[in-house]
Structure 1
Amino acid sequence: MASKIHNELKTVRDVIRYAVSRFNDAQLAFGHGSDNAWDEAVYLVLSTLHLPLDTLDPFLDARLLEDEKKKCISLIELRIKKRVPLAYLTGEAWLQGHRFLTDKRVIVPRSPISELLADQLEPWVDEPDAVQEVLDLCTGSGCLAILAALAFPNARIDAVDLSEHAIRLAQRNVELYKLTDRVSVLQGDLYTPVADRQYDVIVCNPPYVNSHAMATLPSEYQHEPALALAGGEDGMDTIRDILGQAASHLAQDGFIILEIGNEYEHFMNAFPTLNPVFLETEHSDDSLLLLTREQLQTV
């Protein structure tokens, strides 16, 4: 059967079409770098063939070598059989055009906070060069800490995570970007490793998935570490700790940008006296919020 498939598939276009059909037939769940079968198939094939990820058209009708077809088909079938995020199979994820090493020790880099960092947090930051201190809580792979370092060239960034495994991977990514002189990767529970520090900006993609949603996650998401996803009954357990201590770790004009995913109602119920600014991204207008030091002093 495999040999027959190899004979029928001749070009990049053929293999991508085959992958899309197989993914749709298997009813895979997406959301780890792509949100549909076509984008995932394109990335899988271009990545496997070591072709530019943003240049498909010139290669669509290129014929594949037998060994190249085998590698693509093997990865397609592995994606279907194991139902894990493709990033775990390739060992890398791309965010805002930047490559990050990743594996099952951390959630796949995908936070929409990255979109805001690509714009240097405009209009909330007037002078990117003036930002001196940034904290990335629950750093995972270190992707947001690294993007913050790239956005704010004069800033020193602390990247904190409770998971020893995440810390090791984050450190590798920091080294990959040659940012060890500006990004410190620290292990500990939230603010514990930075107890005496204050920041101009805190960014955080915390565990926020409520218990009901955790129980019904698609298989792909269940392969990610629960420590990085589960936020308790209403999804707000870790967020309560983060916001309860945030004011003391922010500079006078500092603010925190927090990801809450699909937990808008739970957040508003948990913090009825707060009036955050919800930040619009490409796919959502209520999954990210901003709170100032002044607002957080009332928590």
Structure 2
Amino acid sequence: MDLKELKSGLENAHSHEQRVEEIAQFFGSYNLVFGHGTDSAGGEAYWLVRHLQRWNVRDWTSPPTHDHIGEILEIAHLRVTERRPLAYLLGKTWFAGLEFNIDRRALIPRSPMAEIIERGFAPWISVGKGDRVLDIGTGSGCLAVSVAHYCPGVLVEATDVSPDALELAAENVKKHGLEGHISLIQSDLFDAVCEKYDVIISNPPYVPRARLASLPAEYTKEPAVALDGGSSGLNIVNRILRNADGFLRSGGLLFMEIGEIAQAFSRAYPKLPLTWLEFERGGEGVFMLTREELTGYFKG
């Protein structure tokens, strides 16, 4: 299916559902890779149409007009020719039910940790007014903003080594009106951090460096610094693990996502008492450790 056929299909569609089907068929005609907010051509097609409608219910249920056809064609063309993730083309994405600004300054949010944040970290810990949460490697700020949104009164600090990422995170903090609840710190992991926290969360770079060159084209559009985990994928993970207990209060918890290197991680730390989390909406590779478990393993 080419762009001319897509244009004809969009013009002749009698419903927005049919338009979504046409776009999905177009995307499916190319070797696209999904995983930046959706997991299918149909999911991306629906997201594109609804985004242009500003998620207005009336627009979705009304008969389609020729509005937005030009925009759809332009975005669809860029999606298949440049292999840019749809989130970057739209400049918006969703995480934990919240909309975020996104561009190539940061990784596109997709962590399964959204589920535990939406529950306020229950049943593992109860956080409330005056408690502190640290987000290491905040990128777009999605984890930090979500924590502040779902855990009212919690004080959140978020670090990143990239000043560009922190600028984007600041946009998202302001977008959600959370300037008084989130502090952004330029820091290489813990270097500029001086508090102790009830919870530390992190989705650090964990892709083995040798794999970066073989990633699908969509992933190469994201900042390499947000993906590159060094030779083993564990370089940043190791640094966080070995220092986290010094920044946790008694009974504090570390939540970390390590995705596809979970098995390699378990082999590297066979006696580390990890609690692997399970998710109703899918996803894996997230573990939890207490401060006491970290101290006992690394300093006991």
Query: Taking structure 1 as the reference length, what is the TM-score of the superposition?
Result: 0.92
What's 1:225 paired with?
Answer: 223
CA-CA distance at 1:253 after TM superposition: 0.7
The residue matched to 1:184 in structure 2 has which SS?
strand
* 1:70-115 CA distance string (max 9 Å, x none): 1112211221111111110110111121001110110001111111
Contact 1:261 1:288 (8 Å CA) reproduced: yes
Counterpart amino acid of 1:68? H
CA-CA distance at 1:213 after TM superposition: 3.1
**C-alpha separation between the residues in 1 aligned to 2:147 and 2:218?**
28
The residue matched to 2:249 in structure 1 has which SS?
strand
What's 2:293 paired with?
Answer: 295
* 1:149-190 CA distance string (max 9 Å, x none): 122212111000000100000011111111111100111100
Counterpart amino acid of 2:206? Y
**C-alpha separation between the residues in 1 aligned to 2:173 and 2:150?**
15
Contact 2:112 2:283 (8 Å CA) reproduced: no
- 1:87 equivalent to 2:87? Answer yes
Counterpart amino acid of 1:71? E
What's 2:262 paired with?
Answer: 264
Counterpart amino acid of 2:118? A
* Residue among 19, 39, 44 paired with 2:48: 44
**C-alpha separation between the residues in 1 aligned to 2:90 and 2:284?**
31
- 1:168 equivalent to 2:167? Answer yes
What's 1:276 paired with?
Answer: 274
Contact 1:149 1:182 (8 Å CA) reproduced: yes
* 1:228-278 CA distance string (max 9 Å, x none): 011112210000100110010000110100000111111112222202100
**C-alpha separation between the residues in 1 aligned to 2:115 and 2:247?**
24
What's 2:74 paired with?
Answer: 74
The residue matched to 1:26 in structure 2 has which SS?
coil
The residue matched to 2:233 in structure 1 has which SS?
coil
Matches within 5 A, 1:1-299: 1=4, 4=8, 7-9=11-13, 11-52=15-56, 59=60, 62-65=63-66, 67-125=67-125, 127-129=126-128, 132-194=131-193, 196-282=194-280, 284=282, 286-297=284-295, 298-299=297-298
**C-alpha separation between the residues in 2 aligned to 1:151 and 1:199?**
17
Query: Taking structure 2 as the reference length, what is the TM-score of the superposition?
Result: 0.92
- When the two structures are aligned, how many residues end up with a matched partner? 293
The residue matched to 1:263 in structure 2 has which SS?
helix
**C-alpha separation between the residues in 2 aligned to 1:85 and 1:131?**
38
Contact 1:12 1:64 (8 Å CA) reproduced: no
The residue matched to 2:149 in structure 1 has which SS?
helix
Counterpart amino acid of 1:198? K
Gapped runs of 5+ residues in structure 1?
A: none
Contact 2:10 2:22 (8 Å CA) reproduced: no
- Percent of residue pairs identical: 35
**C-alpha separation between the residues in 2 aligned to 1:96 and 1:86?**
18
Gapped runs of 5+ residues in structure 2?
A: none
Counterpart amino acid of 1:183? I
Counterpart amino acid of 1:264? A
The residue matched to 2:255 in structure 1 has which SS?
strand
**C-alpha separation between the residues in 2 aligned to 1:6 and 1:35?**
23
RMSD of Structure 2 on Structure 1 (CA): 1.9
